[in-house]
Amino acid sequence: MKIGIFDSGLGGLIITRSIIAKLPKYDYIYLGDTKNLPYGSKTPRQIFEFTKIAVDFLFEQDCQLVIVACGTASLALRQIQNEYLPNNYPDRRVLGVIVPTLEVADKNYRAKRIGVIGTSATINSHKYRQELTKIDKTAKIYELATPKLVELIEQNALPKAKNALKLYLKPLQEQGIEALILGCTHYPILKREVRGLMGGKVAVISPDEIIPDKLAGYLKRHKEINKTLSRGGKKEFLVTKINPGFKAVAKRLFGKKIGLRLVRLK
């Protein structure tokens, strides 16, 4: 059985690349719901429905484990884990990116003033604040919506995205944060620019640098899941809509053209 990785667009490709580099022997299926992006402007109900359909599709493609490599789609994670899986796929697993990222921010950097940038849906949900409270009640989080970035990244309009980033980060710079979480898996493509703007005293926490180690640790702890996974080194890339921007960024990330297969979800 395979490892599935799901995102609303190309952000998950960045996570996928880093996971494959860490764990190259496993078989992977990547699914980008490019037809319905951006998820950041969707309602919580829409986000849940889109995520449930995508997870179901990946399970039908023989995935034992699915990584929801999308900060916005991760808002539906608890409902997927607590309601959908027990009733439909009790032997499968779905993991997210929010809690692992916060754990690193709190434990590795011991930051007490943490900023997070993300889509409007992610920030309006206050999910990072809620989860951080469970991990460290003494830490304070500053949330900032950066709604234009996903669309610009998907269009491969990186110069415009970098200009928007300069304006977005000013309020967080003024708050004197100690760490900044890139709360959308699209944003690691701009992490060099973020680090340059924030300066060396602010730890910039990027999910593509965290999730591979977290997944490796999970598989080591859960041998019952690990033993079901096939190890042929195969990689499939599926999208619900093929657009030029996605293809261009995918080529740059992987250093070559990757075969994108168009699929239709329910």
What global pTM score does this model have? 0.89
Q: What are the chain's domains?
A: 2-96+210-262 (3.40.50.1860), 98-207 (3.40.50.1860)
Residue 184 annotated in active site: yes
Known catalytic membership, residue 63: no
> Strands (DSSP E) along 58-147, which ranges?
63-68, 93-95, 113-118, 140-145
Residue 232 confidence (pLDDT) = 97
Encode burial over 115-147: b for 16+ CB neighbours within 10 A, e otherwise: bbbbbbbbbebebbbebbeeebeebebbbbbbb
pLDDT tens for each residue of 24-66: 999 999 999 999 988 888 999 999 999 999 999 999 999 999 9
Please write the tens of the pLDDT for every residue from 158-185.
899 999 999 999 999 999 899 999 999 8
Picking from 166, 176, 72, the residue whose alpha carbon sits closest to that of residue 114 is 176
The per-residue pLDDT for 105 is 79
Contacts of 248 (CB under 8 A, 6+ apart): 156
Q: How far is CA 190 from CA 10, 89, 176, 193, in A?
A: 13, 36, 21, 5
- Choosing from 63, 104, 121, 184, the catalytic residue is 184
- pLDDT recorded at residue 71: 84
Chain position carrying tokens 């949330």: 143
pLDDT at 10: 81
Rounded Cα distance between 148 and 131, Å, is 25
Q: What residues in the chain have per-residue pLDDT under 70?
A: none
d(CA 266, CA 253): 29
In the prediction, which pLDDT does 84 show?
Answer: 94
DSSP string, 167-217: HHHHHHHHHT-SEEEE-STTGGGGHHHHHHHH-TTSEEE-GGGTHHHHHHH
Q: What is the pLDDT of residue 76?
A: 92
**Out of 10, 20, 70, 114, which one is annotated catalytic?**
70
